[in-house]
Amino acid sequence: MKRTLMTVATLVFGAGMAGADAVAPADVVFADGSVAMSLTGVAGDPENGRKVMTTRGLGNCIACHEVTALSDFPFHGEVGPSLDGVASRWEEAELRGIVANAKIMFDGTMMPAFYKTSGYIRPGKGFTGKAATEEELEPLLGAQDIEDVVAYLMTLKDE
């Protein structure tokens, strides 16, 4: 029991701490859909980015995208384009902008905005189907997770 509480506390606190130095979702500066500055100033960890991309409760990017390099994770979706070679098509700043809020780069896109906290219609409390209780939701991904995903995407270059 105690252990669980501690873990929860660490998680909440941990996320809060990372948030302290990070650029808040509302303060992110987009230029033509790109975000030039790192959200945290801490270099992204592609290994964690890979985890975020393949985990259902996190980015779950492969729900909509195929990525050959992630083929050891089953079930890739076809809603968005394959991300193979994506770093040869886009600059890092563009990728950061797409992951943080793809709706600025691609008007009306189905891709969710991962670093945004308000402006939703009937926002829910996670996947419970109940109404969200806070005005501002937690963004779908934390600032460092976004940096980590961008770092992973940067490894996806055409041969």
Partner 1 sequence: MKRTTTLVSVLALAAWTAGPTLAGPDDHQLVINDEIQIITEAAAPAHMDGIDTIYSGWRFRADETQALELDDFENPGMIGVENAMAIWETVDGSEGKSCASCHESAESSMKGVRAVYPKWNEAAGEVRTLEMQINDCRTTRMGAEKWKWSGGDMVDMTALISSVSRGMPVNVAIDGPAQSTWEKGKEIYYTRFGQLELSCANCHEDNYGNMIRADHLSQGQINGFPSYRLKTAKLGSVHNRFKGCVRDTRAETFADGSPEFVALELYVASRGNGLSVEGPSVRN
Instruction: Enumerate binding residues for ligand HEC (CB under 6 A).
Output: 53, 59-61, 63-65, 79-81, 83, 86, 89, 95, 98-99, 102, 106, 109-112, 114, 149, 153
Spatial distance between the Cα atoms of 10 and 7, rounded to a whole number of angstroms: 5
Q: Does 3 bind partner 1 (CB under 8 A)?
A: no
Task: From the list ligand HEC, partner 1, none, pick the one residue 1 interacts with, judged by a Cβ distance below 5 to 8 Å according to partner type.
Answer: none
Of the ranges 22-30, 41-49, 62-70, 143-151, which one interacts with partner 1 (CB under 8 A)? 62-70
Q: Does 58 bind partner 1 (CB under 8 A)?
A: no
Give the CA angle between residues 40, 45, 51 to the nearest 5°: 115
Q: Does 57 bind partner 1 (CB under 8 A)?
A: no
- Taking CB atoms within 8 Å and a gap of at least 24, the contacts of 20-27 are 22/142, 22/143, 22/144, 23/143, 25/100, 25/115, 25/116, 25/117, 25/139, 26/117
Cα 86 to its chain centre, rounded Å, is 16
Closest approach of partner 1 to the CB of residue 123, in Å: 5
Task: From the list ligand HEC, partner 1, none, pick the one residue 131 interacts with, judged by a Cβ distance below 5 to 8 Å according to partner type.
Answer: partner 1
Q: Does 77 bind partner 1 (CB under 8 A)?
A: yes
Half-sphere exposure of 37 (CA within 13 A, CB side): 11
